[in-house]
Amino acid sequence: MSNEINQIATTKPKGRPKGSKETQGRAARLLDRLANSRGDNLTRIVDGVLKLAEGGEKWAAEAILARTWPAPKGRMVKLDLPVGLGIDGIAAAFDRIIAAVNDGVITAAEALDYAALLEKQAAMLERKDVEKRLEALERE
């Protein structure tokens, strides 16, 4: 097993061979072997990958770190946005979001997330407005 691991760990192909069905990289293949291992094999494999990472193998370090500290999915940001003020409030919130991007408080990607929320709120307000109008027409 250790020869297989060493072969996976040290093989540096020049690209996927034509017609190859292999879709996983070295790190993914090694992690699959880890997941399917038992007891002593697992310990030996982890120790081997750690040694490779300590020796400067970037892919080994990435494989370990990806499992230890997953990439964050956003961050907590506190913006003082108006709530419950209807369409005018949504317009004011958009202005504050743009200002926050300009001031470097949030990223453009985070601004898009806020904008998506505000667009959903605007759509809900529009639906409520249509519903009120229909009810008024039905009463006439």
For the chain, the structural domain boundaries read: 2-68, 86-139
pLDDT value of residue 99: 94
pLDDT value of residue 132: 92
Q: How far apart are CA 82 and CA 78, in angstroms?
A: 12
Q: Output the pTM of the full model.
A: 0.46
pLDDT value of residue 9: 57
Q: If you compute the radius of gyration of the chain from its CA atoms, what whole number of angstroms results? A: 27
Q: How far apart are CA 61 and CA 67, in angstroms?
A: 10
**Residue segments in the chain with a per-residue pLDDT below the cut of 70:** 1-24, 31, 34-35, 37-40, 70-72
* Token representation of residue 35: 């997941």
Q: How far apart are CA 64 and CA 49, in angstroms?
A: 8
- Closest CA relative to residue 81, chosen from 108, 124, 107, 111: 111
* Token representation of residue 98: 């743009």
pLDDT value of residue 15: 62
